Amino acid sequence: MFNAHVLELPEARDVNQALQAVGVQAQGQPILRRKGLFRIVRLQGVGYREALIAKQEMLGAGGDAATPKGTVEFTSDEGDVILLGTPQHFKRFLGKMKHQPFRSAALAAEVEEALAHYARDAYVLRFPNFEIPLQRTVVMGILNVTPDSFADGGRYLEPQAAIDRAVEMVQEGASLVDVGAESTSPGSEPVSAAEEWKRLEPVLAGVLDHVNVPISVDTYKPETAAKALDLGATMVNDVTSLRDPKMVALVAQHDVPAVLMHMLGEPKTMQKSPEYEDVVADIVRFLRARISDAVEGGVGPENLVVDPGIGFGKTVDHNLQILRQLGAFRSLGRPILVGVSRKTFLGKLLDAEVEDRLEGGLAAAVLAVRHGARIIRTHDVKETVRALAIADAILGKSPA
Ligand code: HH2
């Protein structure tokens, strides 16, 4: 008996460990590691000429490429292409594509960047007074100073209650606290910047005095973000992905981390039959464009965090697809934040009210981490910290 068994080694470090375990020579390890992983890269809108060249070169490199029927039969000008191969195959493929005509070199550059981003492991969030390495998964505790937030509306309107909860969340292991004063959950009504600041100011001032972790402000309004940053908040969580150029300028000027979150439409109406061509590809494209705009506006790329925006203009199935394929967002080369806590899709799947969705949220958070999430935004800090400690241990993530 040779005891044949299939190994499941999704990351380069897993392959390395397996190679070391059988005593492979040090020089052989990088070569074998490049053969021990398999990557599938999807490209959209590839012209038929580049598609055919890609097919030829990927086959020549030892991998393969899936091209649409229309491209091969010259009945459509462009289409999507899927490249399949090991990093070794991709290395050979990229070397060849760079010398091929038309837009082959540009295609190769994009594929190379996506693969490098996907493989990136080390991320650090830098704040004026803190550094948070994201080797270990980090928890962002939610503090909603609103009357109408879907999960905790009305509980923390009284500043002292809010401050106490922030302190408690940090004691429970939150590495960041996200303070918001306007609900953006489905069907919520917008509030004025004046009302938002009236709710936020006393809480923010107290929280900043009492907790020793970076405080993020959950707002899409530049007036509110500016005041919060002046008061001492050091992160901006914007559900509109810095859509307002003034937000970009503000984040650039303060040189602080910012979350770019995807939302389809506006909170009031976003859940009315949301539609995508391809939910994952569409959101990757959206976030890529938002990163590019922010960087062009002067934001340091290392300050950006991406978030697919679970529940923001998404059906249950959209949310599940995003979580199943969360790894695709690694191609953006930025840490991924995910917020699933107590959300409606959990309620629909479990037929459970908002206060009864904890286990569902933990399961979703753990799987999100398995697929690349580095920051989990949650109301249930204590439980999430404990669940993620186990998930991180299983995944071999070293403590910070
Ligand atoms: N979800 C909510 C609010 N802000 N920000 C990011 N980056 N990601 C999210 O998933 C996210 C978010 C909605 O949750 P909550 O803050 O609890 O509700 P409400 O908007 O009703 O205050």
Report DSSP letters for 328-367, one per residue.
GGGGGSS-EEEE-TT-HHHHHHHT--GGG-HHHHHHHHHH
pLDDT at 280 > cutoff 90: yes
Q: What is the pLDDT of residue 399?
A: 65
The pTM (predicted TM-score) of the whole model is 0.97
Q: What is the pLDDT of residue 400?
A: 53
pLDDT digits (tens, 9 = 90+) for 4-36: 999 999 999 999 999 999 999 989 999 999 999
The sign of the CA dihedral 162, 228, 247, 215 is negative
pLDDT digits (tens, 9 = 90+) for 348-398: 999 999 999 999 999 999 999 999 999 999 999 999 999 999 999 999 997
pLDDT digits (tens, 9 = 90+) for 154-178: 999 999 999 999 999 999 999 999 9
Taking residues 254-267, what's their average pLDDT? Answer: 96
Q: Which of 149, 318, 380 to mutate to test the pocket of ligand 1 (most atoms within 8 A of CB)?
A: 149
Spatial separation of the C-alpha atoms in residues 230 and 244, rounded to whole Å: 19
pLDDT at 328 > cutoff 60: yes
Q: Which residues are catalytic?
A: 343, 377
pLDDT digits (tens, 9 = 90+) for 237-252: 999 999 999 999 999 9
pLDDT digits (tens, 9 = 90+) for 105-137: 999 999 999 999 999 999 999 999 999 999 999
Q: Whose CA is nearest to atom 1 of ligand 1?
A: 339
Spatial separation of the C-alpha atoms in residues 40 and 85, rounded to whole Å: 7
Give the sheet arrangement for strand 39-47, strand by strand: 39-47, 78-85, 64-66
Spatial separation of the C-alpha atoms in residues 343 and 14, rounded to whole Å: 33
Taking residues 328-338, what's their average pLDDT? Answer: 98
Q: Which residues line ligand 1 (CB under 6 A)?
A: 142, 144, 146, 149-151, 180, 183-185, 188, 218, 237, 239, 259, 261, 307, 309-310, 337, 339, 377
How do strand 176-180 and strand 215-218 relate by DSSP bridges?
parallel
pLDDT digits (tens, 9 = 90+) for 44-82: 999 999 999 999 999 999 999 999 887 777 788 899 999
Cβ 185 vs Cβ 231: under 8 Å: no
pLDDT band of 270, cuts 50, 70, 90: confident
Q: What is the pLDDT of residue 74?
A: 76
Report the share of the chain in percent with pLDDT over 70. Answer: 100
Ligand 1 atom closest to residue 182's alpha carbon, by position in its atom list: 22
CA of 117 to the centre of ligand 1 (A): 27
pLDDT digits (tens, 9 = 90+) for 172-201: 999 999 999 999 988 899 999 999 999 999
Name which residue leads in pLDDT, 75 or 216. Answer: 216
pLDDT at 86 > cutoff 90: yes
State the distance between the two ends of the chain, measured CA to CA, in whole angstroms. Answer: 42
